Structure 1
Amino acid sequence: MNSKISFQNVTKTFDLKDSVFTALDDVSLEIEDQEFVTVVGPSGCGKSTLMGMAAGLVTPDGGQVEVDGAPVTGPGPERGVIFQQYALFPWLTVRGNVEFGLKLAGLSAEERRKRAEQAIDLVGLTDFADALPKTLSGGMKQRCAIARAYAVDPEVLLMDEPFGALDALTRVQLQDQLLDTWTQQKRTVMFITHDVDEAVYLARRVIVMAARPGRIFRIIDVDLPYPRTEEMRLSPEFAQLRNEVWHAVYHQDEPQDAVAA
């Protein structure tokens, strides 16, 4: 496989009132085409800043970010971004929200409807296509946001804690839904999370970051087959990986074999 997203020695600082905060310090990372990668780490480690660079929403002070070998200079339709906040238009139906980006892209009404219906079906919201967001549960709103991202046919999905505000049961259900969707229509996924179980369950690789300054601390391969299942969550292999990631995130002051980015 070839690298889809490439972070090359990226650095980012922010000016505070009395000091300078280094969000990222000389971070390099390669994410392969159609790979599902999760990024986890303590608060302030630069996870969201790193994703923002890939989205073209944050400009690095040093280094460069590339997608398909081309420098990222701003947002682009080949990169779909999904945040924790649903950011749905409350006056539009599920179908209207999913079609919105397609309308901006200049697609015909017929093509918009076709793509929207495919994306809505993909996330299991066909029966709610004409519903307004205020009538949907939190999980359904997030599925609508995922459908909207898929509808524009991006090659890359950038997800910043999309399930962070959901209850535990809905969160687990949406993890399975996301993997089902990813299995049907492979995309390169960079998924930011604070949840260690979620990081292991979804990913082929878990990127563990450290803070002050923000940097890559370890990269842990998840050698578990897809599709992931509930039985897999309860397996000794999953428990071992979870413990390894947990220790890397929460015990970074102890000696470890850090993996260079």
Structure 2
Amino acid sequence: MNVKISFRDVVKTYPLKDDTFTALDHVSLDIADREFVTVVGPSGCGKSTLMSMAAGLVEPTSGEVLVDGSPVDGPGPDRGVIFQQYALFPWLTVRKNVEFGLKLMDLPAEERRRRAQRAIELVGLADFADALPKMLSGGMKQRCAIARAYAVDPQVLLMDEPFGALDALTRVQLQDQLLDTWSKDQRTVMFITHDVDEAVYLASRVIVMAARPGRLHKVVDVDLPYPRTEEMRLSPEFGRIRNEVWHAVYHQAPAVPAA
């Protein structure tokens, strides 16, 4: 396996007034190049902390995080990060929002426009390129955020519950849109979610985390072919995998304190 992201015996602790809180406890995980992995687990299991480490936004207390074999020492254009909040500039059009990261890279105006236009078309917003965010629905705003991440041509997409605030129908539509985009130029995707159905539908592997302390609980292979379809959600095999992940998330034995 050609490993893209590697977490090696990662520990993250935070000091409390009279104690220490362990957010992640000796987590080791490899994510392959061009693999689509989802991470699911109960609140407090360290999902977002793990992703933030890969993004270079949080440093491990011990252990290390590698991308392409090199230690992560901060954010970089090789990793695009998408959060649940859209974080769009309300005074900029869709096109200017998507071009923002490219401008920071000091690219010529013509190259910025070309790359932004490609990303906008990729997420289906070509007809809204000159619209302000206030004119967009929630789903369209999130597609704009995804386009902005794609425009800088990252090797890795790190997505922290990007569809969590959307209604059910829009959420399903954007799941299909994301998979369609990923199929065209497969990047490595690490996708955080609370939704078990979403985790199974998107991924080739589901990483199940356990809480208090946050640790790797189970890895479930999703042996379903791409492209994924609505009919697949109703299949017995999808139901079997969903039930396996659901049980792993919501029927965990409590952590045993260290001696």
Quickly name the TM-score band, shorter chain normalised: over 0.9
1:101 aligns with: 101
1:229 aligns with: 229
Q: In the alignment, residue 200 of structure 2 is paired with which amino acid? A: V
2:257 aligns with: none
| Distance in 1 (alpha carbons) for counterparts of 2:4 and 2:90 | 34
Q: In the alignment, residue 68 of structure 1 is paired with which amino acid? A: D
Pairwise CA RMSD:
0.8
Which aligned pairs between 1:51-90 and structure 2 lie closer than 5 A?
A: 51-90=51-90
**Does 2:110 correspond to 1:114?**
no
2:245 aligns with: 245
Which deviates more, 8-17 or 136-145? 8-17
| Distance in 2 (alpha carbons) for counterparts of 1:244 and 1:14 | 32
| Distance in 2 (alpha carbons) for counterparts of 1:65 and 1:253 | 28
Q: In the alignment, residue 36 of structure 2 is paired with which amino acid? A: F
1:192 aligns with: 192
SS across alignment from 2:209 = strand
**Does 2:35 correspond to 1:11?**
no
1:157 aligns with: 157
Name the count of aligned residue pairs.
254
Percent identity between the two aligned chains: 81
1:66-108, CA deviations, whole angstroms, 9 ceiling, x for partnerless residues?
A: 0000000000000000000000000000000000000110110
| Distance in 1 (alpha carbons) for counterparts of 2:171 and 2:21 | 32
1:220 aligns with: 220
Cα drift, residue 16 of structure 1 = 2.5
1:131 aligns with: 131
| Distance in 2 (alpha carbons) for counterparts of 1:17 and 1:43 | 22
Cα drift, residue 111 of structure 1 = 0.4
Greater than 2 Å deviation, 4+ residue runs: 16-19
| Distance in 2 (alpha carbons) for counterparts of 1:174 and 1:20 | 39
Gaps in structure 2 of 5+ consecutive residues: 255-259
Q: In the alignment, residue 41 of structure 1 is paired with which amino acid? A: G
Q: In the alignment, residue 131 of structure 2 is paired with which amino acid? A: A
Cα drift, residue 18 of structure 1 = 3.6
Q: What is the TM-score of this pair, normalised by structure 1?
A: 0.96
Cα drift, residue 10 of structure 1 = 0.4
| Distance in 2 (alpha carbons) for counterparts of 1:142 and 1:18 | 41
1:172-198, CA deviations, whole angstroms, 9 ceiling, x for partnerless residues?
A: 000000000000111000000000000
